[in-house]
Amino acid sequence: MRAPGMTWNRMPLFLWSIYATSIVQILATPVIGITMVLLVMERLLGVGIFDPALGGDPVLFQHFFWFYSHPAVYIMILPAFGVISELMGTFSRQRVYGYRAVALSSVAIALLGFLVWGHHMFTSGQSPVSSVVFSLITFLIGIPSGIKIFNWIWTMYKGSVWLKTPMLYALTFLFLFTIGGVTGIMVGALAVDIHLHDTYFVVAHFHYVMMGGTVMAFLGGIHYWWPKMTGKLYNETLGKVSALLVFLGFNMTFFIQFVMGSQGMPRRYYDYPDMPWLEPLHQASTIGSYVLGLGLLVVLINGMLSLRKKTPKAPGNPWGGATLEWTHTTSPPDHHNFHHTPLVTHGPYDYEVLFQTSGDSQRGAPVPVVEVGGPQEMDKSVDDGTRQPDSPSDM
Amino acid sequence: MATSHSVTVDDPHAAHGGDGHGHEEHMLVGHDGQLHPSRLQHFFVSSEQQFEASKLGMWLFLATEILLFGGMFVAYGIFRVLYPELYEQASLQLDTVLGAANTLVLLLSSLTMAWAIRGAQMDNRKVLVGNLVATIVLASGFLVVKYFEYTHKFELGIWPGVNFELDEGTQRVSDLTGAVALTPAFTPAGGEEGAPEATNETEDAEVVEADAGALGAADAPLAGEDQAAPAGDDDAVPDSPAATGEGGGEAAAGEGVGAEAAVDVTAGPAAAANLDAPGELASAGLETEHGDDHGSGHGREGEIFSNRRAGIFFAIYYVMTGIHALHIVIGIIAIGFLVFFAQRGDYSSVWYTPVENVGLYWHIVDIIWIFVFPLMYLI
Ligand code: HEM
Ligand SMILES: [Cu+2]
């Protein structure tokens, strides 16, 4: 299925992240599978495996559960990382900086992600030694995450940043996920987590990574690929309004929860008689959620409006992307995706290859119309296939 | 693997050419030993690549299998640590001879499977089909033995879980109903009480010992009550601190004795003060139950409870061997298909990917048994 010339180092970063995600899915899922089998045995036959009343060990269940469920959070975030890499490249008109570091850090996260599950169990009664070790490894996983953040920032540096809706969401991701990741390290610190565990702080942390991370990347990605999927462009103004509402509403909803959590507001309680001073904060958080909901509603309306008959058709490559779905097929793609199997001759973000004929390769320049099905004409001379995507000469 | 054998010898499909992608594949036909177009998917460059890709997929699947069984091995290990005595005695119920016979049968079937693959590589259909059939026969033999093992246990009343109930008269009941005797001799929940005093390092050891002690202590009176205890029990008793009075001594030095009080004292601090609790949590739970049973004085309840605990061993036994047997059944079906296609002449030295992959699967199922057998039956 792979197009000829599509080597590992020419793979779009989104595919790298999907690759890393598949590793996690394959290796983590069987464990939750057998956990469920054992749980069913316990419920149906009364076998004591997890239930202490039957002689079982509930901490064992937690180990099994988190051995799957921590890797599962990477199943959620890794594809988002991939989407952000695509957006950063396309909307900065710049080769994604540190392509290989970004690609391999996904794999590193996938593998390290299997060794940190105990950070959800600091207060479960696991041994103190394992808590310390899990805390330490949790810090380590911040490294590949940081590698990504810094490389994305560097991609924008001296790039030509084009603030279309997808890029606004990508920037929102960068901001929110960084907060989520840093607070992840905070709750990953054993001593701190003893206090913060099961408080709103944790709720805020995982909303910053899951909503601020995965959902923002999803929204950015859906705007980015919308014309490719539907053949129609959404309304840019409405898109920007939605991004703004989502950004404001999200922070209003969840940042406040960091504050409440650090003051001791527990998760999963609907009242807090001992802490009346939290009431305005809770109310502000609720109002924030309305703003957030409104923003998401605008996204939905914008999408539906764009599907009307009278909306003009989208061009094949509205953003000037350099990956195959933009350069080698129409919007939406034909029945077989590509008329002819594309021949890949350069990396996924080689914008200067793509734009070298047009004088201005920057900032929303009109995109050369690549003839569908005519990949062979493209610049074979430029690339002999040995050049690395991020070799210094290309910067 | 594939060398320069002729492609079409055994292949009835050889006559008709490609399937619409012919023009792409014709480029590949000239090469030595390349797969015939009817077998080579158009998105692979060569038959080697296709073979390796499908083997890689199989290995990924096998990795998930190992993780699936890995979960069960972990559960096995945890409970072995929590209830070593129980494991030792319950595993006496398993028939080592039958288990060993099955191990032999599976090892042999792995041999015939490997031999079948060799047959495919040598383009020898007789060897291929013969060995595949032999593998099916051996695998079925394995299932027959398992059938006898299971039914024998059901006759004894060894069902998984709450249904686990031994007949009153079963001769080796004493092996299993360790904690039946909730006599005062058991009350050395003192062994438990020792734990909170201990320093962190020794904690785990203490707990395990205490637990072992509890079982051992309880065993002794039962042995007297019922019929002669099997030799195994004699070892158990001196080992256990509770029975030798060590545990009791510690208890006396520590807090006051008395069933109910002991329960509270242990369950409280053990769970709250210790981050070391996995073992403790569970044993604390157990103590509580014992305490209640003792308080209300119903020996029968205690027996059911302890049976249930023995049920943990057999639950893990049934889950592990059951899921393993399920894999054997699936293997038999898969090999059945292989026999059908091999008979038809589908496989040759150039294309035998399904034989290879089913072979890999079969070896993994075999290897898992190699671990299950000693863990369940021998130790
Ligand atoms: C920078 C990397 C991250 C670190 C160091 C980290 C660390 C942690 C820690 C230590 C906790 C446990 C807090 C507690 O319960 O006391 C936690 C909870 C959680 N994290 Fe993260 N995290 C990271 C990234 C993520 C990502 C990327 C996601 C999902 C996309 C995620 C989702 C969650 C969720 C859902 C919980 C709550 C689990 C529960 O219900 O208890 N985290 N995180
Ligand atoms: Cu986690």
Structure confidence by residue, pLDDT tens digits, A80-128:
999 999 999 999 988 999 999 999 999 999 999 999 999 999 998 888 9
Tell which atom from ligand 1 comes closest to the C-alpha of A181.
1
Contact of B161 with B231, CB cutoff 8 Å: no
**So what's the pLDDT on residue A270?**
87
- Give me the residue spans of the domains in chain B: 31-157+311-378, 167-306
Q: Which residues contact B264 (CB under 8 A, 6 or more apart)?
A: none
Superfamily of domain B31-157+311-378: Cytochrome c oxidase, subunit III, four-helix bundle (1.20.120.80)
Q: What angle do CA B43, B49, B55 make, to 5 degrees?
A: 110
Per-residue pLDDT of chain B (379 residues; tens, 9 = 90+): 334 333 333 333 433 433 434 333 333 333 445 566 667 777 787 888 888 899 999 999 999 999 999 999 998 998 888 888 778 777 877 888 898 999 999 999 999 999 999 999 998 889 999 999 999 999 999 999 989 888 888 877 777 655 555 444 343 433 444 333 222 223 333 333 333 333 344 334 334 343 433 333 333 333 333 333 343 333 333 333 333 333 333 333 333 333 333 333 333 333 333 333 333 333 333 333 333 333 333 333 344 335 556 677 888 888 889 999 999 999 999 999 999 999 888 888 888 899 999 999 999 999 999 999 998 888 8
Going by C-alpha positions, the residue among A56, A18, A384 that lies closest to residue A221 is A18
What is the atom index within ligand 1 of the atom nearest the CA of A196? 16
CB burial of residue A357 (10 Å; 0-12, 13-18, 19+): exposed
Q: A184 in ligand 1 pocket by Cβ < 6 Å?
A: yes
Decide if B323 and A46 are in contact by the 8 Å CB cutoff: no
Residue A281 Cα to ligand 2 midpoint, Å, equals 27
Torsions phi, psi of B43, nearest 5? -90, 5
Contacts of B76 in chain A (CB under 8 A): none
* Site to substitute for ligand 1 among A106, A206, A207, A268, most atoms within 8 A of C-beta: A206
Predicted pLDDT at A5: 87
Q: What's the pTM?
A: 0.72
Q: Which one of B49, B56, B64, B293 would you mutate to disrupt binding with A, by most A Cβ within 10 Å of its Cβ?
A: B64
Contact B160 A34 (CB under 8 A): no
- A vs B, Cβ pairs < 8 A, gives 117
Respond yes or no on whether ipTM tops 0.85. Answer: no
Q: Which of B67, B319, B320 is the mutation pick for testing A, counting most A CBs within 10 A? A: B67
User: Which residue's CA lies nearest to atom 6 of ligand 1?
Assistant: A184
- Among the atoms of ligand 1, which is closest to the Cα of residue A210? 30
Tokens of A207: 């909303």
